[in-house]
Amino acid sequence: MLTKRRGFGYYLRAYGNCYAFVMPFFVLFAIFGVYPMFYSLYLSFVNWTPKKMTFIGLGNFEKMLSDPIFWTSVKNTSWLFLINVPLMTFLAIIFAYMFNDNYIKGRRIYQLVYLLPYVTSTVAISIVFQILFDDSNGWINVLLGKVGIPPVKWLRSESVAMWTYNILTIWQWVGYNMLLLLGGLQSVDSSLYEAAYIDGSTRAKNMFYITIPHLMPVIWFCLIMSTIGTFNSFVPSKVLFRPSGGPGYATYTMTFYQYQQTFQNFRMGYGATLAFAILIIIMVLSIPQIMRAIRDRD
């Protein structure tokens, strides 16, 4: 027997209260999420000035591809990605494995200390690093001088500035990744380790044959979030290397360059184009990691 198909009106009458409760989210998301995204896409095809907008087609994209400063920002951000993401994930695994040991006294305090940089404002951290790594009176150079090492221009040398950027980023994010991995470690069944020890396994073998395979979903999550965070990195370039964003263009990240073009030079169309370039690069790097994470989980 065929049943009558219920239309939208029936569900609206039956579940109207439910739709009313969730409607504010979708309205706000449409206003502050969907509309800005499509308007940014429109801006990427125009030459925006405070007085008028002129449609120029792919002119902004052509300019971006021939812009040497844009490619410098891509190189700098790629350098951050290649150094920071593997290193901070590796350190987070080591620290999580250490702090998961019940025999370490005060391990809760250590966990809190390593997590504090993540919950601290990046602006505050950048100001502190500016004091620590000051070229003339910074504490780091003072300590180096006590052991006979000449001062290093941490913030003013084009060859060293990006390493300072790396140190700040790794120091800030290791604790966050460690906390995620520590939660993953505590979900591993302890009977697996007991059985392995009975069979004569060592601590190192347990790490590679039990711990790491069970942690792979969390590791992939850390890698994905670190990738997105690295390509959205902005505050250190603005605060730590103020006012110009570093010596020359040495610490220009893609997000900092996009901010500079949009809000300092008021080139809204070109800034929107740079924003979509950042989005595309993040998608190209993140989607394969997401697909691999899904395969490992299954």
Q: Across the chain, what does the average pLDDT equal?
A: 86
Q: Looking at residue 285, which CATH number applies to its domain?
A: 1.10.3720.10
66 within a domain of the structure (yes/no) = yes
Kindly give, in sequence order, each residue whose CB lies less than 8 Å from that of residue 285, ignoring residues fewer than 6 positions away: 81, 227, 231
What is the structure's pLDDT at 1? 45
| Domain that residue 281 falls in | 59-118+172-297
pTM listed for this prediction: 0.84
76 within a domain of the structure (yes/no) = yes
293 within a domain of the structure (yes/no) = yes
Model confidence pLDDT, tens digit, residues 170-210: 998 998 999 899 888 888 887 887 888 887 877 778 888 88
Task: Please list, residue by residue across 119-152, b when 16 or more beta carbons sit within 10 angstroms of its beta carbon and e when fewer do.
Answer: eeebeebbeebbebbbeeebebbeeeeeeeeeeb
> What is the domain count for the chain?
1
243 within a domain of the structure (yes/no) = yes
Residue 111 has pLDDT above 60, yes or no: yes
| 207/258: higher pLDDT | 258
143 within a domain of the structure (yes/no) = no
